[in-house]
């Protein structure tokens, strides 16, 4: 059965993938008056965007492919519950990605990729502000900065790291133990130093944020359909999307399918070395001692801002109703069963960072979650028009920063479709770099 979209003077656009990136693309395009249909195999915001750390991490301007990682890698990989895990069975499949990742550690690529990330991150938060205002969801964004804390790292190394960020133009202060504890009194006495990033933000619920922006797009006329895209065919001015049972026709297509994008790009003739960097979170809802009811206020009181640990490589975020511990990287492919021990181990790590971490007695609910970060070996996303097709666009591969870069990506895609100059130079984000 073929369902053609209603003929209309306005162009019809399908955005496939209802994660934070697809939602932002759909919202930006619907706001420009296009007829947008958002399609997803699951519900809205149910993929990697759901239970992440909620950090608008604009300070993360350095690509992950960093030669210093090479020294730490053997130790990290040997510990089955360490910060990075590679399933031996998955190694042959992951090898080509790792070769490209290691290649990106060369300083000329690192510098180039840092510049591109800086441009994308620089004003990333400001792109969200008008959207959240329109969605009446400003309360979902908190601008209290964030901390990167150090337990054992010596001061010389901490100072170097501080300088490194400063030289990259990131707003950052170096705090000693006393200053850190003044800012966050519930941090463990182990914490000796911290870098305080003053211009970053966090959300108290990445899921609610996704839903609020999708609702705003729906209020403007966007339609959401559950649909698993299996096959794409296209002519010069139409795109036909098939799920095996029905076909939908649109004028244009935006692929925002996150970690699941490889096969779809292949169908269109593009190589996309994307890897699912599986990460975990553990969300703790504490209970109010008096009446045994869960309450989020303690979490807010425990921390005012996200706190990331340098040595333990994870982050704690005070959320709406919970304290969320997130992190770890696991290479095991898209479809391997989640290993939730990787989520529970975050609790052990948090005991070294937070004093008064809620104990079993005070925890009403623990939610373990795994998400597939869509990661390319150069740490840059793909944001571009398909080089061989005028009516197909890509917005994918945002690795650890999809929440941070979602709104600016939506804006850039809408500018590309409207053939307007883009707010930043997007050459570095073209899929042609892999083809
Ligand atoms: C533990 C953890 C913590 C993180 N913390 C942060 C953070 O603090 N800040 C930050 O900026 N980022 C963070 N990230 C990264 C961030 O979550 C991702 O970069 C972001 O969610 C990617 O968004 P997306 O829209 O590209 O992908 P997704 O949210 O995964 O959305 C892709 C969607 O495409 C759909 N889809 C795929 N294939 C098809 C198909 N064939 N047909 C139909 N639908 C399809 C999927 O169902 C999915 O809903 C974190 C990630 C993890 C795992």
Q: What is the pLDDT of residues 366-389, one digit of tens each?
A: 899 999 999 999 999 999 999 999
265 and 229 within one domain: yes
Q: How far is the CA of 402 from the centre of ligand 1 (A)?
A: 7
Q: How far is CA 118 from CA 236, 380, 404, 426, 433, in A?
A: 35, 11, 12, 12, 19
Pocket of ligand 1 (CB under 6 A): 16-22, 39-42, 46-49, 52-55, 57, 228-229, 256-258, 260, 279-281, 326, 371, 373-374, 396, 398-404
Say if 351 falls within a structural domain: yes
Q: What DSSP string runs through 293-331?
A: -B-SHHHHHH-SS-EEETTTTEEEEE-SSSEEEEEEEEE
Contact indicator for 396, 258 with CB cutoff of 8 Å: yes
Low-confidence winner among 130-134, 166-170, 212-216, 284-288 (lowest mean pLDDT):
284-288
User: Residues near 203 by Cβ (< 8 Å), separated by ≥ 6?
Assistant: 54, 56, 140, 141, 142, 209, 403
Read off the pLDDT of residues 182-239 as tens digits, 9 standing for 90 and up: 999 999 999 999 999 999 999 999 999 999 999 999 999 999 999 999 999 999 899 9
Among the atoms of ligand 1, which is closest to the Cα of residue 264? 41
176 and 83 within one domain: yes
146 and 286 within one domain: yes
Contact indicator for 173, 166 with CB cutoff of 8 Å: no
148 and 69 within one domain: yes
Would you say residue 7 has pLDDT above 50? no
> How far, in Å, CA of 234 to CA of 38, rounded?
18
Q: How far is the CA of 147 from the centre of ligand 1 (A)?
A: 24
Q: What is the residue with the minimal CA distance to atom 25 of ligand 1?
A: 19
341 and 383 within one domain: no
Sheet holding 239-242, edge to edge: 2-4, 247-250, 239-242, 231-234
66 and 152 within one domain: yes
For a mutational test of ligand 1's pocket, the pick from 24, 85, 260, 318, i.e. the residue with the most ligand atoms closer than 8 A to its C-beta, is 260
Say if 307 falls within a structural domain: yes
pLDDT class of 52 with cuts at 50, 70, 90:
very high
Would you say residue 241 has pLDDT above 50? yes
Would you say residue 297 has pLDDT above 60? no
186 and 321 within one domain: yes
Say if 24 falls within a structural domain: yes
Read off the pLDDT of residues 212-221 as tens digits, 9 standing for 90 and up: 999 999 999 9
Q: How far is the CA of 92 from the centre of ligand 1 (A)?
A: 24
What's the domain count of the chain?
Answer: 2
74 and 193 within one domain: yes
395 and 337 within one domain: no
368 and 302 within one domain: yes
Q: How far is the CA of 234 from the centre of ligand 1 (A)?
A: 26
The predicted structure's pLDDT at residue 356: 84
Q: What is the percent of the chain where pLDDT is above 70?
A: 95
311 and 192 within one domain: yes
Whose structure tokens read 């609702």? 215
Say if 86 falls within a structural domain: yes
> What CATH number corresponds to the domain at position 365?
3.30.9.10
What is the pLDDT averaged over residues 121-125?
97
Read off the pLDDT of residues 386-429 as tens digits, 9 standing for 90 and up: 999 999 999 999 999 999 999 999 999 999 999 999 999 999 99
Q: What is the residue with the minimal CA distance to atom 22 of ligand 1?
A: 402
Tokens found for residue 362: 């005070």
Higher pLDDT, 85 or 77: 85
- Backbone torsion region of residue 396, taken as left when φ is above 0, otherwise alpha when ψ lies between -120 and 50, otherwise beta: beta
pTM: 0.95
> How far, in Å, CA of 275 to CA of 332, rounded?
9
> What CATH number corresponds to the domain at position 388?
3.50.50.60
Nearest to 393 by CA among 408, 381, 404, 382: 382
The predicted structure's pLDDT at residue 299: 52
Domain boundary among 326, 341, 375: 375
The residue segments making up the domain with residue 44 are 2-49+208-271+379-434
Domain boundary among 360, 375, 390: 375
Residue 263: exposure state from Cβ atoms within 10 A (0-12, 13-18, ≥19): exposed
369 and 389 within one domain: no
């Amino acid at each position: 059965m073929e369902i053609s979209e209603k003929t209309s003077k306005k162009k019809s656009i399908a955005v496939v993938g209802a994660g934070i990136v697809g939602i932002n693309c759909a919202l930006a395009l619907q706001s420009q008056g296009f007829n947008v249909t958002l399609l997803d195999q699951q519900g809205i915001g149910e993929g990697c965007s759901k239970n992440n750390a909620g950090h608008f991490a604009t300070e993360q301007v350095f690509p992950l492919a960093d030669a210093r990682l090479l020294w730490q890698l053997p130790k990290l990989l040997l510990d089955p519950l360490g910060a990075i895990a590679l399933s031996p069975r998955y190694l042959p499949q992951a090898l080509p990605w790792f070769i490209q990742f290691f290649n990106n550690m060369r300083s000329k690529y690192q510098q180039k990729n840092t510049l591109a990330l800086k441009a994308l991150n620089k004003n990333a938060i400001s792109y969200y502000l008008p959207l959240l205002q329109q969605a009446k969801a400003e309360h979902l964004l908190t601008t209290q900065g964030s901390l990167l804390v150090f337990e054992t790292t010596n001061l010389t190394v901490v100072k170097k790291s501080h300088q490194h960020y400063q030289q990259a133009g990131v707003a950052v202060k170096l705090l000693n133990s006393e200053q850190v504890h003044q800012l966050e009194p519930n941090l463990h006495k182990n914490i000796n130093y911290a870098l305080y990033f003053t211009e970053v933000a966090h959300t108290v619920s990445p899921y609610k944020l996704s839903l609020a922006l999708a609702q705003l797009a729906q209020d403007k006329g966007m339609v959401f359909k559950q649909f698993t895209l299996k096959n794409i065919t296209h002519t010069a001015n139409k795109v036909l999307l098939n799920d095996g049972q029905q076909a939908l026709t649109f004028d244009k297509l935006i692929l925002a399918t996150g970690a699941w994008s490889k096969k779809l790009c292949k169908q269109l003739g593009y190589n996309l070395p994307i890897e699912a960097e599986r990460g975990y979170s553990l969300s703790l809802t504490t209970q109010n001692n008096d009446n045994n009811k869960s309450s989020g206020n303690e979490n807010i009181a425990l921390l005012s801002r996200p706190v990331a640990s340098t040595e333990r490589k994870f982050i704690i975020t005070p959320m709406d109703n919970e304290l969320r511990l997130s992190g770890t990287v696991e290479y095991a492919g898209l479809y391997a069963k989640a290993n939730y021990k990787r989520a529970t181990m975050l609790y052990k790590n948090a005991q070294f960072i937070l004093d008064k971490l809620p104990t079993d007695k005070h925890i009403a609910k623990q939610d373990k979650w795994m998400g597939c970060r869509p990661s390319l070996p150069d740490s840059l996303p793909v944001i571009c028009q398909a080089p061989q097709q005028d009516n197909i666009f890509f917005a994918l591969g945002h690795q650890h920063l999809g929440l941070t870069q979602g709104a600016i990506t939506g804006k850039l895609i809408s500018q590309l479709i409207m053939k307007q100059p883009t707010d930043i130079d997007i050459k570095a984000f073209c899929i042609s770099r892999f083809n």
